[in-house]
């Protein structure tokens, strides 16, 4: 069988995953994430998207089922995470480059740190702002710095919690385009928790739609065409 015909090895595999904090929120979640895929996790506020993300990250234990990491991310340092918000303390000055360095292990050699930080800033078009104080950045620039911090560890799997939230249409589109460029170039698997259905329809290769305690997941065209999801998608986009 040709290389193209072989099924890509998974980065993360969930089978019958039970998700919740003190009570069950999502039942029987099945996901298979592979390199080069762009996943969009869609759903109304309170549907369980962020709880699912925390469970996939290992920050929250599952309530049952199976959750496995592939060989490429067996070292969890190869999994990046971009939170929706980050407070920047004005009392503790920190440049953009210094902040991005925080994404790397302390044991990294100086030349490795310099290379990783430089590549991460370039990917997010923030190289010219390397010496700017992070608290002086605009909202859009702060979002890019958060992504750059996660990219500094050169992740194979990158999970982003609403990276375009509160950005205007242009800013959201530009960030989405830069992430898509990164995915195509480095075959990183992206998982966006998102509210923007337009971006999902444009960039998603796969979709996980969260509603009514369940997750409908698969190739984007398949999920968007699923008649069971039609009324939920219509409500979500309203």
Total of domains in the chain: 1
Domain-embedded: residue 43: yes
Domain-embedded: residue 165: yes
Domain-embedded: residue 147: no
User: Which ranges of the chain would DSSP assign to H, the alpha helix?
Assistant: 49-57, 96-101, 110-123, 139-151, 169-186, 197-203, 220-225, 230-237
DSSP state of 1: -
Domain-embedded: residue 48: yes
Could you report the per-residue pLDDT of 175-233, keeping only the tens digit for each?
999 999 999 999 999 999 998 888 999 999 999 999 889 999 999 999 999 887 776 66
Per the structure, the complete domain to which residue 27 belongs is given by 10-86+154-237
Domain-embedded: residue 44: yes
Could you report the per-residue pLDDT of 7-28, keeping only the tens digit for each?
578 999 999 999 999 899 999 9
Compute the C-alpha angle 42/44/48, nearest 5°. Answer: 75
Per-residue model confidence (pLDDT) at position 172: 92
d(CA 190, CA 182): 9
CATH of the domain at 19: 3.40.50.300
Could you report the per-residue pLDDT of 22-57, keeping only the tens digit for each?
899 999 999 999 999 999 999 888 899 999 999 999
Domain-embedded: residue 58: yes
Q: pTM for this structure?
A: 0.91
Domain-embedded: residue 144: no
Domain-embedded: residue 109: no
């Amino acid at each position: 069988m040709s290389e193209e015909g072989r099924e890509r090895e998974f980065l993360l595999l969930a089978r019958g995953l039970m998700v919740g904090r003190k009570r069950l929120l999502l039942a029987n979640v099945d996901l298979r994430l592979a390199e080069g895929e762009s996943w969009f996790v869609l759903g109304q506020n309170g549907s369980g998207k962020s709880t699912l993300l925390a469970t996939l990250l290992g920050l929250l234990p599952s309530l049952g089922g199976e959750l496995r990491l592939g060989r490429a991310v067996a070292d969890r340092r190869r999994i990046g995470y971009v939170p929706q918000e980050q407070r920047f303390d004005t009392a503790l000055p920190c440049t953009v480059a210094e902040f991005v360095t925080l994404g790397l292990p302390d044991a990294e050699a100086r030349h490795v740190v310099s290379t990783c930080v430089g590549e991460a800033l370039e990917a997010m078009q923030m190289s010219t702002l390397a010496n700017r104080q992070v608290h002086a950045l605009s909202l859009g620039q702060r979002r890019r710095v958060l992504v750059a911090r996660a990219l500094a560890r050169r992740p194979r799997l990158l999970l982003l919690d609403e990276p375009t939230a509160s950005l205007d249409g242009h800013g959201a589109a530009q960030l989405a385009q830069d992430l898509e460029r990164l995915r195509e170039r480095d075959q990183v698997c992206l998982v966006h928790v998102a509210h923007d259905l337009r971006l999902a329809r444009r960039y998603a290769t796969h979709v996980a739609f969260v509603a009514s305690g369940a997750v409908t997941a698969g190739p984007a065209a398949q999920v968007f065409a699923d008649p069971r999801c039609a009324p939920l998608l219509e409500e979500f986009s309203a």
